[in-house]
Amino acid sequence: MEKGERQSGGSARLTLAYVTDAGLFRPSLISAYSALLHAAEPLRLLFVGVGLSPAMEAAVSRLGARFSEHRVEVFAMPQDWLREATSPKSFITPTALGRMFLPRITGGRVLYVDGDTMVAGDLASLADLDLRGRQIAGVRDFAVMRWRALRAEEKLARQAALLGGSASLDDYINSGVLLMECDAIRAEPALQAAMEDMKAAQGYPTVDQDRINVVFSGRITLLDPAWNCSWGRLARQRRDMAGLPVAGAVPSPRILHFHGPNKPWQRLRISTLRKGGLQVLRYRRLMAACERDIPEIRDL
């Protein structure tokens, strides 16, 4: 695939996309492995890489060979696209803003997934989900919904001020899992330009998340939290957003998201286990299985 070239999804009804640099490559590959393990129909898997080594690209090819019924591709993102991208968080690199360029890279329906995730079920139903004419879909953010449930007015007011009144906190989504209609986004050049404006994204404490909520205010379909489940805490997420409408409800988590600075592949901490000890152990079993099938990733 050539740099800057737009690609269609081919015969697959859903493209699963990861955007990663060397630092998050290994967990991104493990997450992709989990998605393909659970896939009930062929997926197109797109790895958008920023500065990936030949060994990393070879590991993606090995993943494609392991799951040959799927279409696995690598796209090398031009470095200048992220020239003005910045991140105020030490554990999130500016590469996170690379997801903003997915409509430039590819068409069709795309499910973007962060690398610090584990897919726990089939994703195919998202290919048929009615987005009601909106360009993206996502799950309400765990932290903001916690503040709402606990009536943490000061935190909510601070978050609302960051958005400048352009988005409702009841509809504020986490950017770790995003379902995008890339053709519909490209059909509005001003919307795509706003999405890709790296200078306008500077200064937001969540790197890309606040900017996405501002740009797509009024254009978001809200998904059931099972599609972006915070450390397996699905029941709590549903309690916190009780009374708010969701689309695509499923009974159990489909994507587990290990957001925050501590990750399940790192040295175990009490604080990590408290967030979701069972899910951390599930992740580590998955990691071991992936390493058996794709041993090259042990050294990456």
- Residue 111 backbone phi and psi in degrees, to 5: -105, 105
- Residue 178 backbone phi and psi in degrees, to 5: -135, 125
* pTM for the structure as a whole: 0.94
What does the pLDDT average to over 172-195? 98
What pLDDT score was predicted for residue 2? 38
Host H or E run for residue 143? helix 142-150
What pLDDT score was predicted for residue 88? 87
Residues recorded for the chain = 300
What pLDDT score was predicted for residue 208? 94
Separation of alpha carbons 204 and 209, rounded Å? 8
What does the pLDDT average to over 251-272? 92
What does the pLDDT average to over 157-179? 91
| Joined tokens for residue 195 | 């999405």
Task: Give the model confidence (pLDDT) of 232-256 as tens digits.
Answer: 999 999 999 999 999 999 999 999 9
Lowest-pLDDT range of 16-25, 70-79, 90-99:
90-99
Task: Give the model confidence (pLDDT) of 206-240 as tens digits.
Answer: 899 999 999 999 999 999 999 999 999 999 999 99
Residue 7 has pLDDT above 60, yes or no: no
| Joined tokens for residue 94 | 């500016």
Compute how many other C-beta atoms are within 10 angstroms of the C-beta atom of residue 71: 18
Which residues touch 232 (CB under 8 Å, ≥6 apart)? 253, 256, 276, 278, 279
Task: Give the model confidence (pLDDT) of 34-68 as tens digits.
Answer: 999 999 999 999 999 999 999 999 999 999 999 99
What does the pLDDT average to over 19-25? 96
What pLDDT score was predicted for residue 271? 82
